[in-house]
Structure 1
Amino acid sequence: MPGFVLLVRHRGDGDDVSGIGYTVSKKVGNAVTRNRMKRRFRELARAALPVAGIAGADHVLIGRPGANEMDFAELGEHLDSALTRAAKKLAR
């Protein structure tokens, strides 16, 4: 995805709660930029993970440069698409 990378790993511990983590490196920008991106990721995950998240898996969103300039709705669509692809890969 252009604004982020999504990593998903099934824990295999029998717990159906999905975990979430956020990573934004200094390459993306200064502290203000990184914190804004993490706030946007938190809000996206709050909306998308209960619906499309993979139960019993840890999800990690890694920010890419330019994600703050993207429209919030567009980021949400990208996250939904990435979660769908991840679910298909884990189902194999």
Structure 2
Amino acid sequence: MSQIERLRKRRDFLAAARASKRAERGLVLQANERGDIAPPRVGFTVTRKVGSSVVRNRAKRRLRAAAAEILPLAAKDGYDYVLIGRQATLTRRWSDLLDDLRLALRTIHAKNGGGTRASSAAPKPASPKDDPHG
């Protein structure tokens, strides 16, 4: 899968809000199965509770980068995804944020009766250099 389309219309965000949700420490994922076989689409949002516009934009940039890395491997055709930033989105280690997204996708797809498209969607074991206690 090459470029994933972006969600831009409010009605698509609202439809995802009514569908499956999975909250992880670094993000919340909403996924709406559209019922077609079109490529997946993704949208991003961060509420004002997270911080000022500068802080919210930084959180959205992190979510966009995580989505660009994970969704081509794990997203399923016919789905709309909305990634919602949380306070922890800003401070979470990058590898942990990616694992949060992988886990949320795997959980939502399992709940909706199907696995992820690629087996590489499983979280990678943490390397010893990532372990702060090691």
Listed as ranges, the gaps of 5+ residues in structure 1 are none
Higher RCO by CA contacts (8 Å cutoff, separation 6 or greater): 1
Larger helix proportion of the pair: 1
For 2:37 and 2:26, how far apart are their aligned partners in 1? 32
2:93 aligns with one of 71, 88, 91 = 71
Amino acid at match of 2:103: S
In structure 2, runs of 5+ residues without a counterpart are 1-23, 115-134
Q: Secondary structure at the match of 2:98?
A: helix
Aligned-residue offset at 1:35: 0.4
Residue by residue over 1:18-37, the C-alpha shift from the partner in whole angstroms, topping out at 9 and shown as x without a partner, is 00000101000011110011
* Aligned residue pairs, count: 91
Aligned equivalents of 1:43, 1:26: Cα separation in 2: 21
| Structure 2 residue 24 is matched with structure 1 residue 6 | no
**CA deviation after TM superposition for structure 1 residue 66, in Å:** 2.3
Q: Within 5 A, what are the aligned runs for 1:19-58? A: 19-58=41-80
- TM-score between the two structures when normalised by the length of structure 2: 0.65
Percent identical? 40
* Structure of greater Rg: 2
Segments ≥4 residues shifted beyond 2 Å: none
Per the normalisation by structure 1, the TM-score is: 0.93
Q: Deviations over 1:40-70 (max 9, x none)?
A: 1001001111111121100001111122011
The CA deviation at 1:14 is 3.2
Aligned partners of 1:50, 1:65: CA distance in 2, in Å?
Answer: 25
Distance between the aligned counterparts of 1:84 and 1:21, measured in 2?
A: 18
Alpha-carbon separation, structure 2, partners of 1:67 and 1:38:
9
How far off its partner does 1:39 sit?
0.5
